[in-house]
Structure 1
Amino acid sequence: MIDMSVRRSEKRKNHGGQAVSMSGRALLLGCMVVVGISGCASPESIDLDSYDPMHNQREIATYYRNQAVAMREKADAQATAAVRYEALFGPEADMVSGAQSLAHYYKQTAQELERVAQAHEAVDRNKRAPAVGR
């Protein structure tokens, strides 16, 4: 009798394992369908180099302005790191000059990105402003 009860519990375990396996497959299939559907919906891409007034110049300018802010934050972080490195390793350490160089590079990049943002804003303003003298 003991043998039969063991076999019955084995059968139940196998049957339960199949149910778990089936629900796992259904979950996997559901996830694949969701990923497949969401992959089809791609956001509209923006040509960031375009100065065409038909494109959303304000959105392009906002993108460049956000990038400039990120570069300024990186510049500040590198300037802070340079001060810390100087306190730890002395003013002649390579890490100090490297951090200072990166801070300078990030500041220059931020200025350039800001100029590009201003150029895109100018295109947006001119597009919306009425033509004078035409």
Structure 2
Amino acid sequence: MIDTPSHRCEKRKSHGDQTIASSRRGLLLCCVIVGVFTGCASTESIDLDSFDPSHNQTEIANYYHNQALAMREKADAQATAAVRYEALFGPEADLVSGAKSLAHYYEQTAQELERVAQAHEAVDRKKRTPAAVR
């Protein structure tokens, strides 16, 4: 086969192709580096069931308070839905009783989460109370 200038052009990549290939390699390298850093970085996990005073009981209590708030919001939404369903379908409709049941369940769950939060707050208070006051 004779080496002509047209064959050499076919074998070479254009400048645009080289730039694209180089940017792909750069992007791949960045992804690998980010993956390594995020994989190696570990966030401290919190044992939400722990009443050990050495754990951050305030943070655990705040978590349970936030969950209780979310449950109360769900309870309110279901109570509102029950009123709307009752107006649309009558008081005996399955949708009404289902929404009322869910509202009750969410409210009970919120109360339980608040009790757990208060228990964690109590552990935190005991930890910070001076020995002479106990």
Partner of 1:85: 85
Which residues of structure 1 form unaligned runs of 5+? 1-6
Partner of 1:72: 72
Deviates more, 1:110-119 or 1:53-62: 53-62
Q: State the 1:15 CA deviation.
A: 4.0
Partner of 1:108: 108
What letter corresponds to residue 45 of structure 1 in structure 2? Answer: S
- CA–CA separation in structure 2 for the residues paired with 1:70 and 1:34: 34
For 2:103, what is the secondary structure of its paired residue? helix
Cα deviation per residue 1:3-60 (whole Å; 9 max; x = unaligned)?
xxxx9x9889844123213212321221231122112212101111111111111111
Structure having the larger proportion of residues in helix:
1
Deviates more, 1:52-61 or 1:15-24: 15-24
- CA–CA separation in structure 2 for the residues paired with 1:15 and 1:64: 59
Cα deviation per residue 1:58-90 (whole Å; 9 max; x = unaligned)?
111111111111111111111111111112222
**Structure 1 vs Structure 2 CA RMSD:** 2.5
Partner of 1:16: 16
Q: State the 1:114 CA deviation.
A: 0.3
Which residues of structure 2 form unaligned runs of 5+? 1-6
Give the 3 Å change call, closer, same or farther, for CA 12–127 of structure 1 in structure 2: same
For 1:91, what is the secondary structure of its paired residue? coil
What letter corresponds to residue 39 of structure 1 in structure 2? Answer: G
Partner of 1:30: 30
Cα deviation per residue 1:111-132 (whole Å; 9 max; x = unaligned)?
0000000011111111111234
Aligned length: 129
Partner of 2:118: 118
